[in-house]
């Protein structure tokens, strides 16, 4: 794995800002970073129980991408396999957190965990499989190792 600096969040409000900005499509595109993706996922999992992330997050992300001028195509924008893989990873990570962990502490621990690096999905997928059109459009099973 390549080590890239982690950009931790400063507060629960900073995490909620990202999640709410994703939901209402007000988050500036420049703030939709790798860390923001993970933070939003964990925040939505913890604080928006009415959302079924596996079902609802794809539409939320697609709508957000379009709202900030992006497109969801075979080569850019929404990626189904990455989204579903990270939902699985974040859900499994959240189950290990101590009861009462603050949102910001949980998110920063997630970012510092094995799931945090940008290339974590490559533990399970070859680049060719993960970045192919089929994986962008639909869930595809890993070709290197089972994904939890």
Residue 5 lies in a domain: no
What is the rounded distance in angstroms from the CA atom of residue 124 to the CA atom of residue 127?
10
What is the rounded distance in angstroms from the CA atom of residue 45 to the CA atom of residue 49?
6
Residue 99 lies in a domain: yes
What pLDDT is stored for residue 3 in this prediction?
63
CA dihedral 131, 83, 23, 43 (to 10 degrees): -140
Residue 2 lies in a domain: no
The 10s digit of each residue's pLDDT in 15-57 is: 999 999 999 999 999 999 999 999 999 999 999 999 999 999 9
Residue 3 lies in a domain: no
Residue 4 lies in a domain: no
Q: State the pTM of this model.
A: 0.95
Residue 1 lies in a domain: no
Domain that holds residue 28: 13-137
Question: 19: which residues sit within 8 A by CB, 6+ positions away?
Answer: 39, 40, 43, 44, 47, 48
Residue 88 lies in a domain: yes
Residue 51 lies in a domain: yes
Q: How many domains does the chain have?
A: 1
- Give yes or no for residue 127 having a pLDDT over 60: yes
What is the rounded distance in angstroms from the CA atom of residue 26 to the CA atom of residue 132?
30
CB distance 107 to 42 below 8 Å = yes
């Amino acid at each position: 794995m390549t080590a890239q600096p982690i950009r931790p969040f400063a507060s629960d409000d900073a995490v909620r800002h990202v999640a709410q900005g994703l939901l209402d499509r007000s988050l500036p595109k420049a703030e939709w970073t790798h860390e923001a993706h993970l933070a939003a996922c964990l925040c939505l999992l913890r604080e928006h129980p009415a959302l079924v992330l596996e079902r609802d997050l794809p539409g939320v992300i697609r709508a957000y991408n379009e709202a900030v001028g992006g497109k969801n195509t075979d080569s850019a924008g929404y990626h189904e396999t990455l989204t579903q893989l990270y939902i699985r990873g974040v859900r499994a990570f959240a189950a290990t957190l101590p009861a009462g962990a603050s949102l910001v502490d949980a998110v920063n621990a997630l970012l510092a965990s094995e799931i945090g690096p940008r290339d974590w999905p490559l533990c399970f997928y070859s680049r060719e499989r993960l970045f192919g059109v089929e994986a962008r459009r639909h869930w595809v099973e890993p070709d290197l190792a089972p994904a939890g």
